[in-house]
Amino acid sequence: MANIFALITGLIFGFGLALSGMTHPEKVLGFLDVAGQWDTSLLFVLCGAVGVTVVSFRFITKLKAPVFAPIFRLPESNAIDKPLLIGSALFGTGWGISGYCPGPAVALLASPNWELWVFLPAMLLGYVLHWYLFKPQAQKSAAAAPENTKAEPPTCG
Amino acid sequence: MALSNIANALLGGVLIGGAATLFFWLTGRIAGISGVIASLLFFKERLWPALFLSGIVAGAAIFYALGGSAPVPRGSFPLWLLAFSGVLVGFGTALARGCTSGHGVCGLGRLSLRSLVATLTFLSVGLLATFVVRHIFGVV
């Protein structure tokens, strides 16, 4: 059942991304380009999205369990550490260069052009690089953790 | 700037936030795209990430089928720069464990300080990167 809702919520998410203008990398760059003709419209995407989650998540986190799963899977770390800062800076650099972030890169499979066929494989390569560089650590911590957490992905992003 | 741009941005944002809300309420998971991609690539539970990502593609496809505008590729954007930015986005979001959706939409919604710091970092570095690429190197 949860799987069906994964599909449905993904569908709403993808429609929202496309409607909002986030799947236009040039529009994203227009938003990030404060020194050019600054296009502020994408500020409203963030406001709209966070405006909803900041209210709804307050109520949801008070529930004992989600509807179709035994527990909520929240990120374990609250640390503001080097990986967070360096990772976010690297992501910001890539985002600011091309105007693509992961969600729109996936959504654009609905209307791919040559840019996506360069960006998307490169992005996946980035995930693979990270996995092989940091996998030993992940396995170590997974081995130390209870068994059922072993196959658990990083719960964020 | 056209008013319809703002209306679409706001409505699109509300749909994104609404989808993240439903996903969290129903499945107990954070709708962070980079995390979902990592799940699909590296972890055993592949069905729900595959369905969620397929849903995203289908949702965008519906929008384009209804006449919504799809992006047109830039004529002169250097290929190597596009590839370089792709690796940075993949590696960076994996390292920070979150992107615009995970830290931005969901993390800020949870009032997470960690996500606020991440969001401010990628936004400010993004502004700087765009400035350097567009105004110093003149790439558009």
Please tell me the distance from the alpha carbon of residue A148 to that of residue A153, in angstroms, as a whole number: 12
3-state secondary structure A3-26: HHHHHHHHHHHHHHHHHHCCCCHH
Residue B124 with chain A: CB contacts under 8 Å? 92
- Mark yes or no for CB contact B88/A155 under 8 Å: no
Q: Tell me how many helices (H) and strands (E) chain A has.
A: 6, 0
pLDDT tens across the length of chain A (157 residues): 889 999 999 999 999 999 999 999 999 999 999 999 999 999 999 999 999 999 999 999 999 999 999 999 988 888 999 999 999 999 999 999 999 999 999 999 999 999 999 999 999 999 999 999 987 565 555 545 444 444 444 455 4
Of A32, A12, A98, A35, nearest to B71 (Cα)? A98
Q: Which tokens sit at B116? A: 């606020």
Residues of B in contact with A71 (CB under 8 A): 28
Is residue B44 very low, low, confident or very high in pLDDT (cuts 50, 70, 90)?
Answer: confident
Residues A150, A153, A156, CA angle at the centre, nearest 5°? 140
A-chain residues near B130 (CB < 8 A):
29, 32-33, 96-97
Residue B128's Cβ-side half-sphere holds a number of Cα atoms within 13 Å equal to 11
Interface of B with A in 56-95 (CB under 8 A): 56-64, 68-74, 77, 79, 81-95
CA dihedral defined by A128, A134, A135, A138, rounded to 10 degrees? -130
pLDDT band at B1 (very low <50, low <70, confident <90, very high): low
> Quick check: B63 pLDDT over 80?
yes
Question: Which sequence spans correspond to the domains of chain B?
Answer: 74-140
What's the pLDDT at A147?
A: 43
Note the ipTM here. Answer: 0.96
Question: pLDDT averaged over chain B?
Answer: 95
Helix (H) or strand (E) holding B39: helix B33-42
Count CB atoms within 10 A of the CB of residue A33: 21
Which residue's entry shows tokens 């929008």?
Answer: B63
For B67-78, the pLDDT digits (tens) are 999 999 998 899
Give the pLDDT confidence score for residue A137 in this predicted structure.
61
Q: Which pLDDT does position A151 carry in this prediction?
A: 42
**Predicted pLDDT of residue A47:** 96
Predicted pLDDT at A24: 97
Contact flag A63-B25 (C-beta cutoff 8 Å): yes
pLDDT at A76: 82
Q: What is the pLDDT of residues B80-91, one digit of tens each?
A: 999 999 999 999
Amino acid A135: pLDDT: 76
Cβ-nearest to B108 among A33, A54, A90? A54
CA distance readout (Å), B77 to A26, A100, A124, B95, B127: 11, 13, 20, 27, 18
Let me know: does A17 contact B16? Beta carbons within 8 Å.
Answer: yes
pLDDT for A150 = 40
